[in-house]
Every structure is written in C-alpha cells, then in structure tokens.
Chains A and B, each alone.
Chain A
Amino acid sequence: MVSATGLTRTFGQFVAVDRVSFEVAPGEIFGFLGSNGAGKTTVIRMLCGLLRPTSGSGTVAGFDIATRSAEIKSRIGYMSQKFSLYGELTVDENLRFWAGTQRVWGRLFEERREWAFEMTGLGSRNDALVADLPGGFRQRLALSCALLHRPPVVFLDEPTGGVDPEARRRFWDLIDDLSAEGVTVFVTTHYMDEAERCHRVALMHAGKLLALDTVAELKKIFAPGSVLEIECEDAAHALDDIEDLPGVIDAAFFGNQVHAVVTAPEIAQTIQQSLESRGFAPVKVRPVPPSLEDVFIRSIREAEEGREG
C-alpha cells in the first residue's frame, strides 16, 4: 500500500533522510519510531507529496510519489504534527470545511459526519468551538477530519503529542479499529508504548532506518535473559563501572535503574558482587524481558559503532 525505495532527502549539506526503503501492507499499522529530528516527518511529507525526494522513489496506493501527487492526495488522510483544526470554528464547521477540501458534501457528508460524531464521541458538542475542547477530543476530531473521504491510507505524524495517557489509549483504540476495517495506518511516534501497539516498527535514527520488523522479532536481537535490570545506590556512578565489567556488552539508564546487555545471564551474580564490593550496595540484579527501548538504544549504539569502525 505504501512503499519506499532508497528514499533520500537532503537540505543543503544536511541529509535528513538517508536511503530509506520499506514496504507497508494493506491494513497494517506501521510505526515509525525515532527521536525528534530523526527524519520521520520528512519521510511522511515525501510520501504525502508535500516534499520532493532528492533521490529514490516511492508509491502510495499504487501511485508514484514523484509524479502522481494529485491522485495520492485524494486517497490519503494526513494528520500533521501541528494542530490541524481551526480553533475559532465549531466542530461541525471544521468537519464541513475539511470534508469540502476532499469533495465530500451533500448526503455523503451528512453520513460521514454521523460517523465522525460516533467515532469521536462529539455528537452532543457539535456546536462547541474547537478551541474550547479538551486535547483528547481535538485529537480524535483531527483524525476524523482526515478520514472523512474514507482514504485507504492514513498518515499520522506524532498524533498524540501533548495528550493525556487515557486519551492516548482511546486514540490507539481508534487506530486498531481502522486497521481492522482494512485502513493502512502509517504512524510516527517517540512513545515506546505506542510503538508496541504497531504491527511492525521501523527504527529511525539520524535519517537512517536502523531496523524494521515486528516488535517481537526486533526484541530477538537479544538472547533470552541477556538483559539485566540493575538497581543500586548511586546508579549514575555505577553505570561506568557496569560498562567496564567483563561480559557486559552495553549498559544504559532505564528510569532509575540501569539496563545491561550481557553475554550470558549467569554473570548476574558476578555483577552484583563486584558492585557491592565497590560500595554501591544494596544491589539488586534480575533478568528482564527486553523492552523496545532496549532494542532502540542497542540499535543506535550498533549503528554508531559501525560508523566509527
């Protein structure tokens, strides 16, 4: 439904997106995970026909992004990172305008408006000014505005920024529903918990695609039991010591704890002892299932080591 081959975009000397290739199947929830400035938005903008690729190619709904952007635009829904509604207009007026841009009017509009009210739970507030709505409602309304013309593909660029966890959960329930109806969802995020809800996740860093697979597969880069969670006093200083211990491949902060990637789970004992002997007691070490964040950090490290080496 969406594909990219060697997609590249430079701004002057800066390479924002560097030879990115992928393939998204119909009905798939495809996540783009990366920090700010990783190039996620640039990829979306190229796919939506808002930005010309410097090199490489891509297709959306079967149309070439370089030459057929008009056809693409009537077959996609796009929710940009910025708030895309008019705060001084009511819910109804916003729906009507965005529907108008997609040639959805008359009877069809009435129908789709009902659907949008149902989906957002905003039916009773259709005369409220959008500026007066809570963030979660606005986000759902923005999504429904992007879906009024029933596009087969929808691009969501960090759709849940600045929204409370409960609203985020509701929003993702909507994404699941869309996917169940066969809509392809292309979503960027920097929330790990959101990425876990995607069918497949692409890890992006500094313009490059580091890894692309299902969450379960991505986690398999770690041998079972090879991620240890270490809880100790003064973790900030302990981190350096942990990294230098034999058998530790990598270590990084994870909240208040340190997550260490080790060659074998058996060295947990050794780690605990050596840390205690260095005055970081009490020390607790236990194996944990790797999180997506572990995978992400590991992938970035590997990519950077690869570049240096």
Chain B
Amino acid sequence: MIRRILATTVKELLQLKRDWRTALALLGMPVVLLMIYGYALSFDVTDIRLGVVDQSRTQDSRRVVEAFLKSGYFVQRAVVDDSRPLDNLFTDETIQAALVIPSDFASRISARRTTSIQFILDGTDAQTANTVLGYARQIVASQIGGLYDIEVQAAYQADPLVWYNPDLKSSIFLVPGLLAFILMVSSVIATSLAVVREKERGTMESLRATPIRAIELLLGKALPYLLVASVSAAGSLFLAWALFDVPIRGSLVWLAAVTLLFLAGGLGWGIFISTIAETQQLAFQLSLLSSMLPTLLLSGFIFPISSMPKALQILTHIVPARYYISALRAIVLKGVGPEVWWPQTAALVIYAGVVLLLATIRMVRKL
C-alpha cells in the first residue's frame, strides 16, 4: 500500500517538475499575491488630505493640529477661512477630512471646562472613511489628553483601544486570509486537475485495470500537492513576517496542525470535483467557483462576515476558510491556545470528514 502510494507520489512529483508552469504558479502565486495584498491592495490609508478650520488661533489649538499632522497619517492641504467654504473643498476633493476647532477652545481648556473639536469626513468611500475615523479616534485618545493633562471623551460611544493590531495595519489582518486562499487554491485546483488529467488522457482507464486502489491513487496524488501547498504556506508566512512585520505569537505546531486539517478538506473537495468533471477545463471552473471565490468573498478574508446580509452570513458556515481564517487569526495574531479556537477546529474536522467521505463514495461507485 505505502509503496504504491509512493510510486504515485514520485510520478506526480516528476510530472510537476516537468510541468514547470504549474509548479511555478503553485509556488510563485502566493508570493505575488502577498506582494499585491501587502503593498498595492493595502487598506491602510496614509497622506489623508486634511483641511484645518482653526477658529481659536491659539497655542493650544495649534498643538491639536500638530498632533494630527505628526501622526503621519494626515497632511495639511488647506487652512480654511471664510473665503473658501468647507463643502467646496470636499466636493473638489482638495481635502478628505476636516478638523474644526471652535473659537472658545483655548479659553475652555484653560478654564478646565468641557470642550469639543469637530472632525468631518468624506464618507463616499466607507472603507477609507472608517479607517480614517479610527486614526482620528486614536490620535485624540492617545495624544490630546496628554497635551493638556485632561480627560478626553469622544462624542460617540466606542472603545478606542485596538488590540493585537494597534496600528490597524491591513497586512496583519490579511495574511491569515491569504494563507487560507493559497492553500485552498493549491489543494482544490491542483488535486482536481491532477486526477481529471488522467481521465482526459485515458491513463485512468489503464490505472483502473491495475490492482492499485482508488485510495492509494488519491493519496499518492494528494501528497505532492500537500507538500507544495505546505511549502507555499510556510514561505508566505515567513515573507509576511519578514516584510510586513506580521507577528507570529502562537504555537507553530498548532498552526501546522490546523493547516493540515484545512488542507485535508481542500484535497477532499478537489477529489470530489474530479469525480464529477470529465475535462480539466470543467474541473478548473468548478474548483474556482466552489473554492476560490467563497474563500475570497465569504470567509471574512476581505469582507467582514458580521457586515454581510443575513442570508450570506448563513452561507459562510459551509465555507471552511471561514473557520480556518478565524482559527489562524487566533493562533497567529493573538497567540491563544486550543481552548479558544476548538470550535473552529471541530468545524474543520467535520468538513474534512464529510468531504473525504463523499469523495470516497463517489470514487468507489465509479469503480
């Protein structure tokens, strides 16, 4: 049994070696994706164009403005006076945010009376607006109170403390999702294509006339891709740590264990697809639709599940990446143990079990 699995694995590895395009895609794509998400598609917002309406014109009010500018997120684009109304600056996109300091700001501060400053945001891009709001809140909370030795109260009720990712860097948030994405793609697509390729070429027919069992063939085929996917994942994690300072706080052993579990489900799904599809093209499309897109859209990778419509939220429960990503975030970013993420792990076990069972039933029936 073991030797026949190995014979298949050796063959698959040789084929992968000769088919350098696929090998390159499997190993190179994660790096490219990581670069894209890490640099280009970053949700971090910097150089926010700020308009300043300083009606106080005092030493105190200038210190507030300075605090914003020194944070590195904001650049001052306009000093607003009566000659140019604020809404004009917003509509022609000269500024994205405005800071309004009332004329009695300094006097109220020195009198130790409650005062407020106004922060106006261009909300057309909700994602950016949210991020900027987060920065503003953080600056007010952490800087301004100290300046005057006063207590700062935001006008809205919210906890301004951000744990685990205090700088709200999106790379830290995205890396676990990216790992899930890479693993899903290489496991589902690569496995389904590897099996369907044999069907398309007719070699499956010859294989079926040999004593090799379906399970031996499948394991033999899955192993190399498991290996490649693991190398990819480890590489991505290393790059994320080296380039984007993603902290790895938790145990690597747990990380590997949960990852293998997730991969098992992905491989099972790939095999299941290969029992349905007769051509590589169809297998590719089915894999794309059933694994890549849900992993991208319905797993909380990019779009938070909590802000999805109810129907979609229910749908996310059958997307394994959802559990994997949240377990991964718990392990990598929070460094917590299984007592926290065991429900996600249980969900992954159930998923892998069901999918592998389905795949085996389909395979056996075909023989």
The answer to whether A74 and B201 have CB atoms under 8 Å apart is no
Q: A80-B202, A84-B206 are in contact. Are A89 and B15 (CB under 8 A)?
A: yes
A85–B212 Cα distance when bound, in Å, is: 16
One of B3-11, B40-48, B181-189, B280-288 contacting the partner? B3-11
B residues less than 8 Å from A85 (CB atoms): 203
Q: A76-B209, A82-B202, A102-B210 are in contact. Are A88 and B15 (CB under 8 A)?
A: yes
* Total count of chain B residues near the partner, CB < 8 A: 22
The answer to whether B11 and A48 have CB atoms under 8 Å apart is no
* B203 CB contact (under 8 Å) in A49, A76, A84, A96: A84
The answer to whether A78 and B206 have CB atoms under 8 Å apart is yes
A74–B19 Cα distance when bound, in Å, is: 31
The answer to whether A86 and B15 have CB atoms under 8 Å apart is yes
Instruction: Give A81-122 as 1s and 0s: 1 = Cβ < 8 Å from B's Cβ atoms.
Output: 111111011000100111111110100000000000000000
The answer to whether B208 and A97 have CB atoms under 8 Å apart is no
**Closest approach, in angstroms, between the C-beta of B280 and any C-beta of chain A?**
15
The answer to whether A89 and B18 have CB atoms under 8 Å apart is yes
The answer to whether B205 and A82 have CB atoms under 8 Å apart is yes
* A83 CB contact (under 8 Å) in B202, B207, B209: B202
**Closest approach, in angstroms, between the C-beta of A52 and any C-beta of chain B?**
10
B residues less than 8 Å from A76 (CB atoms): 209
The yes or no answer to A197 lying at the interface (CB within 8 A) is no
A residues less than 8 Å from B18 (CB atoms): 88-89, 129
A164–B210 Cα distance when bound, in Å, is: 29
B residues less than 8 Å from A49 (CB atoms): 209
Please report which residues of chain B, range 352-367, place their CB below 8 angstroms from some CB of chain A when the two chains form the complex.
Answer: none
Q: A100-B3, A103-B4, A103-B211 are in contact. Are A86 and B206 (CB under 8 A)?
A: no
B residues less than 8 Å from A236 (CB atoms): none
A180–B85 Cα distance when bound, in Å, is: 103
The answer to whether B202 and A97 have CB atoms under 8 Å apart is no
The yes or no answer to A4 lying at the interface (CB within 8 A) is no
Please report which residues of chain A, range 118-164, place their CB below 8 angstroms from some CB of chain B when the two chains form the complex.
Answer: 129, 146, 155
Nearest CB to that of A50 among chain B residues?
A: B208
| Chain B interface mostly | helix
The answer to whether B211 and A70 have CB atoms under 8 Å apart is yes
A residues less than 8 Å from B212 (CB atoms): 101
**Closest approach, in angstroms, between the C-beta of B202 and any C-beta of chain A?**
3
The answer to whether A50 and B4 have CB atoms under 8 Å apart is no
A residues less than 8 Å from B206 (CB atoms): 78-80, 82, 84, 146
A97–B4 Cα distance when bound, in Å, is: 9
A residues less than 8 Å from B243 (CB atoms): none
The yes or no answer to A199 lying at the interface (CB within 8 A) is no
Most interface-central of A79, A84, A101 (chain B CB within 10 A): A101
Instruction: Give B194-231 as 1s and 0s: 1 = Cβ < 8 Å from A's Cβ atoms.
Output: 00000001110111111110000000000000000000
A105–B15 Cα distance when bound, in Å, is: 20
The answer to whether A88 and B209 have CB atoms under 8 Å apart is no
The yes or no answer to A284 lying at the interface (CB within 8 A) is no
Please report which residues of chain B, range 1-25, place their CB below 8 angstroms from some CB of chain A when the two chains form the complex.
Answer: 3-4, 6-8, 10-11, 14-15, 18-19
The answer to whether A50 and B15 have CB atoms under 8 Å apart is no
A75–B110 Cα distance when bound, in Å, is: 98
**Closest approach, in angstroms, between the C-beta of A92 and any C-beta of chain B?**
11
The answer to whether B3 and A103 have CB atoms under 8 Å apart is yes
Most interface-central of B11, B205, B209 (chain A CB within 10 A): B209
* B209 CB contact (under 8 Å) in A78, A96, A97, A105: A78
The yes or no answer to A169 lying at the interface (CB within 8 A) is no
B residues less than 8 Å from A93 (CB atoms): 11, 14
The answer to whether A105 and B203 have CB atoms under 8 Å apart is no
A99–B7 Cα distance when bound, in Å, is: 9
* A73 CB contact (under 8 Å) in B10, B11, B211: B211
B residues less than 8 Å from A50 (CB atoms): 205, 208-209
A150–B142 Cα distance when bound, in Å, is: 81
Please report which residues of chain A, range 35-87, place their CB below 8 angstroms from some CB of chain B when the two chains form the complex.
Answer: 48-50, 70, 73-74, 76, 78-86
B residues less than 8 Å from A48 (CB atoms): 209
Nearest CB to that of A98 among chain B residues?
A: B210
A residues less than 8 Å from B8 (CB atoms): 97, 100-101
B residues less than 8 Å from A155 (CB atoms): 209
Instruction: Give A199-241 as 1s and 0s: 1 = Cβ < 8 Å from B's Cβ atoms.
Output: 0000000000000000000000000000000000000000000
The answer to whether A82 and B201 have CB atoms under 8 Å apart is yes
Q: A97-B11, A101-B4 are in contact. Are A88 and B19 (CB under 8 A)?
A: yes
Most interface-central of B201, B205, B206 (chain A CB within 10 A): B206
Please report which residues of chain B, range 37-76, place their CB below 8 angstroms from some CB of chain A when the two chains form the complex.
Answer: none
A100–B3 Cα distance when bound, in Å, is: 7
Please report which residues of chain B, range 83-115, place their CB below 8 angstroms from some CB of chain A when the two chains form the complex.
Answer: none
The answer to whether A100 and B4 have CB atoms under 8 Å apart is yes
Q: A50-B205, A86-B203, A88-B19 are in contact. Are A97 and B210 (CB under 8 A)?
A: no
**Closest approach, in angstroms, between the C-beta of A135 and any C-beta of chain B?**
15
A-B contact pairs, 26 of them (CB 8 A): A48-B209, A50-B205, A50-B208, A70-B211, A78-B209, A80-B205, A84-B202, A84-B203, A84-B206, A86-B15, A88-B18, A89-B11, A89-B14, A89-B18, A93-B11, A97-B7, A98-B210, A100-B4, A100-B8, A100-B10, A101-B7, A102-B210, A102-B211, A103-B211, A105-B3, A155-B209
Q: A: which residues have CB within 8 A of B?
A: 48-50, 70, 73-74, 76, 78-86, 88-89, 93, 96-103, 105, 129, 146, 155
Known A-B contacts: A78-B209, A101-B8. Give 5 more (CB < 8 A).
A86-B15, A89-B18, A97-B7, A101-B212, A146-B206
